[in-house]
Amino acid sequence: MKPILVLVAVWLCGVAGGLVAGERTRPVRDDVGFCWRAAEMDRLVQYLETQAAGRPPSFPVVAGVAPHDDYLYAGRVAWSVLSRIEAPEVVIFGVTHGTVRREIGDPQGVVLLDTFPQWTGPYGPVAVSPLRERLRREMPAAMVRVDDRAHELEHSIESLVPYLQSRHRNLRITPVMVTAMTPARLREVAEAMAGVIAGYVKEGGLLPGRDIAFLVSADANHYGPDFDNVPWGVDEAAHQRAVALERQIAGEVFSGEWGTGRLDVIEARLWPGAGKPVPQWCGRYSIPFGLTVADRVLRSATGRGMRGEVVACSDTWTGGVLPVKGTGLGITAPFSLRHWVGFVAAAFGLSDKVDNSIIK
């Protein structure tokens, strides 16, 4: 190639790169517990591939639930379902943690969207799907709040992005933060969102599982005095009792055919109420909301709902810190019998049952 052509080519590449680099990018919230460098993420994934947790799903995955705690705590459980996401486009439903709620005025009964054109990933910027703008435009205004600050403060969605991008370099996401809602409001907002997404899926000729998937970010029980959650004390027997209950709840919530009755189970088991002690699952709203949306979209797109399986369970006390070297990862909180967090991974595939109520 002639020298002048080389210069032109380099200049054009620089311009193209500048266009990407110049985009507003959602900044990283947690650079200790999560991995943001390609070589280090590769090393972590190599380790996780040899340390499978639980058992693989028995069907192609169209939706999943994965934990968002530090990778050195939750990585094995998270990877058990995230490694099964084949679609390059993912709608991610995150929680709105208490620290974030206090900072942004504790909105309720709405979903929170952002305006960043791209998010940070270990392998380069991650594009945001045009679906996000469509949700903002087509959902009732009273159901949606656009809040970049909320998304900057919240770590539950960003935690899943490096895992997904390690498998799909062309990943694009739709980040959705879920706030606290009454059961009636949750169904109303989820139905509205599912209708918009179903239109997007139909118009794009997308196949759930192959082209688009749904992912819920949620940790399970937070146990100990720091969480004001010590119904059985803080010894080994208390831990075993709490873990047994956590796995029982996971089976009740995630296993089998998904339907409207699951929201009743979640409300009874995980939602606060007067005089009712409940396990401190931070996904108590993101789980029913995200899975309800996914189920409704699948019924519209395929005439079939979802069936689920619990893939893996663990907690910081049982699993401890993963012995992964050379990643630069750390932990952001201690673990002990007085302070531990549970993790559940669940996978969902298409139900074998046809929903005859769907009108094509």
pLDDT in tens, 47-85: 999 987 888 898 999 999 999 999 999 999 999 999 999
Structure tokens at 93: 């439903």
Q: 9 lies in a domain?
A: no
pLDDT band at 259 (very low <50, low <70, confident <90, very high): confident
Q: 5 lies in a domain?
A: no
Query: In this structure, are residues 296 and 326 in contact, taking their beta carbons and an 8 Å threshold?
Result: no
Residue 3's pLDDT is what?
42
Structure tokens at 56: 């693989």
d(CA 17, CA 286): 36
Structure tokens at 10: 């380099």
Residue 13's pLDDT is what?
38
Instruction: Give residue-wise pLDDT tens across range 195-245.
Output: 999 999 999 999 999 999 999 999 999 999 999 999 999 999 999 999 999
Using alpha carbons only, what angle is made at residue 253 by residues 250 and 255, rounded to the nearest 5 degrees? Answer: 80
Q: 192 lies in a domain?
A: yes
CATH number of the domain that residue 79 is part of: 3.40.830.10
Average pLDDT, integer, range 288-293: 97
Please compute Rg for the chain using Cα positions: 21
Domain span holding position 250: 26-354
Structure tokens at 312: 């893996």
d(CA 233, CA 236): 9
Residue 55's pLDDT is what?
85
Q: 195 exposed, middle or buried (CB, 10 Å; 0-12, 13-18, 19+)?
A: middle
Q: 13 lies in a domain?
A: no
Q: Say how many domains are in the chain.
A: 1
Whether 9 has a pLDDT exceeding 90, the answer reads no
Q: 201 lies in a domain?
A: yes
Query: In this structure, are residues 95 and 286 in contact, taking their beta carbons and an 8 Å threshold?
Result: yes
Structure tokens at 68: 């968002």
The type of residue at 149 is: R
Closest listed residue to residue 131, CA positions, set 218, 213, 217, 209: 213
Average pLDDT, integer, range 312-317: 98
Q: 17 lies in a domain?
A: no
- Taken as a whole, the chain contains a residue count of 360
**What is the residue-averaged pLDDT of the chain?**
91
Q: Which residue has the higher pLDDT, 325 or 339?
A: 339
Q: 45 lies in a domain?
A: yes
Q: 288 lies in a domain?
A: yes
Query: In this structure, are residues 335 and 49 in contact, taking their beta carbons and an 8 Å threshold?
Result: no
d(CA 298, CA 259): 12
Closest listed residue to residue 59, CA positions, set 34, 94, 84: 84
